[in-house]
Amino acid sequence: MTIQPKFAKTHLLFPSAADSTAPVIVDLFVDYCCPFSAKLFIKWHDEVLPALKDKHKGRFQIIFRHVVQPWHPTSTLMHEVALAVAQVAPEKFTEFSYGMFKEAPTWFDGPTYDKTRKQIYQELCEFAAKTTGLDISSKLYDIVSIKSDTGNTGNGVTVDVKYFTRYHRTVGVHMTPTIAVGGIVASNIESSTSPEDVITILEKSL
């Protein structure tokens, strides 16, 4: 299954949204708060995707799938700010995600234990502005902040979080990172799999 059209400009990492009819769909189920997701995403960003673009342009859709992991409380907040970036600066989503995975330990359990939800939101929004080079921190915070009159309805990205959560639950993905090729989990692709081996495995689906 491909992704909702509203996310095509942000969550289709390769090829571009204009090539969203590519025959092979590869899902990257990742969590910003997961160090193994970070290892995989950085490797794919730096090595796998450029190699695929050179060898197989137009033949793969690589889709970023958010997986919020509830045992890490800040996971939700990290994904929420990322989804806010997708709304405010869609062209910067991949760049922000790359930076987020690089700096994710800043918001791991230990460093954030004594911080409030509001403080963490503010830090993440400021980080997003720094990472993207855009003056967007106040816009992002307005999206993720909880308004006093909203009761328990969430914030400006709650609907998006629900969409991704429902999807990964529906297809039975629970751990991160998980890679699916053509809707089937590729258990032979892990965070430690070399770029060369990843490409060889993906080529078998062509």
Question: What CATH number corresponds to the domain at position 26?
Answer: 3.40.30.10
166 CB burial (10 A radius; 0-12, 13-18, 19+): exposed
pTM of full prediction above 0.85: yes
CA distances from 131 to 94, 106, 138, 143, 159 (A): 11, 14, 15, 18, 25
Q: Name the nearest CA neighbour of 89 among 120, 145, 131, 124.
A: 131
pLDDT in tens, the chain (206 residues): 688 989 988 999 865 555 567 889 999 999 999 999 999 999 999 999 999 989 998 899 999 999 999 999 999 999 999 999 999 999 999 999 999 999 999 999 999 999 999 999 999 999 999 999 999 999 999 999 998 777 899 999 999 999 999 999 999 999 999 999 999 999 999 999 999 999 999 999 99
Q: Mapping DSSP to helix (H, G, I), strand (E, B) and coil, where does residue 12 land? A: strand
Number of domains in the chain: 1
